Chain A
Amino acid sequence: MSTIDPILWNDWHPVAETCTLLSGPPVETVLLGVPLVIAADADGAFHARRTDDVPLHQDERYGLVWVCLGTPERPVLAIPEADEPDRPAVTVGSIRVQTAGPRVIENFLDLGHLGYVHARYLGDDPHTQVLPYKVDALPEGGIIATGCKMFQPQASPAATEGFMVDYVYKVERPLATCLYKANPVHRDRFDVIFLFAQPVSEEESIAHPLLLCLPDGTTAADLRTFQQLIFMQDKPILENQVPKRLPLADGAELPIAADKSSVAYRRWLSKIGMTYGVIPAQARAA
Chain B
Amino acid sequence: MILYDAHHVAPAYAVRLLAGFLGLPLELQGMDVYPGHDDRSDEFLALNPLGTLPVLVDGDTVFTDWQEILAHLALAHGPDWYPATDPALVGWLGIARDLAASAGAARLMQTFCVPGDLAEAKAQAERLLDEVERRMWFAERAGHGWLLAGTHPTIADIAAFVSIAPCEDGGLSLRDRPALRRWCDRVRFHPGFVPMSGVFPPMANT
Binding site for B on A (CB under 8 A): 17, 19-20, 23-25, 27-29, 91-96, 98, 116, 119-120, 124-126, 206, 220-222, 224-225, 228-233, 235-236, 239
Contacts and interface: CB of A to CB of B under 8 A. Distances in A.
B197 A232 contact: yes
Contacts, number: 80
Contacts of A233: 197-198
A230 B112 CA distance: 14
A225 B171 CA distance: 23
B76 interface: no
A218 B32 CA distance: 13
16 contacts: A24-B37, A93-B34, A94-B113, A98-B110, A116-B203, A125-B203, A206-B113, A221-B30, A224-B35, A225-B6, A225-B32, A228-B7, A230-B197, A232-B169, A232-B197, A239-B168
A225 B7 contact: yes
Contact of A17 (B35, B115, B200): B35
A211 B122 CA distance: 33
A125 B204 contact: yes
A229 B111 contact: no
Contacts of B36: 19, 220-221, 224
A152 to B, nearest CB: 14
A236 B32 contact: no
A28 to B, nearest CB: 8
Interface of B: 6-8, 30-32, 34-38, 110-113, 115, 166, 168-169, 171, 197-198, 200-201, 203-205
A17 B79 CA distance: 46
B62 to A, nearest CB: 22
B35 A20 contact: yes
A119 B201 contact: yes
Nearest to B204: A125
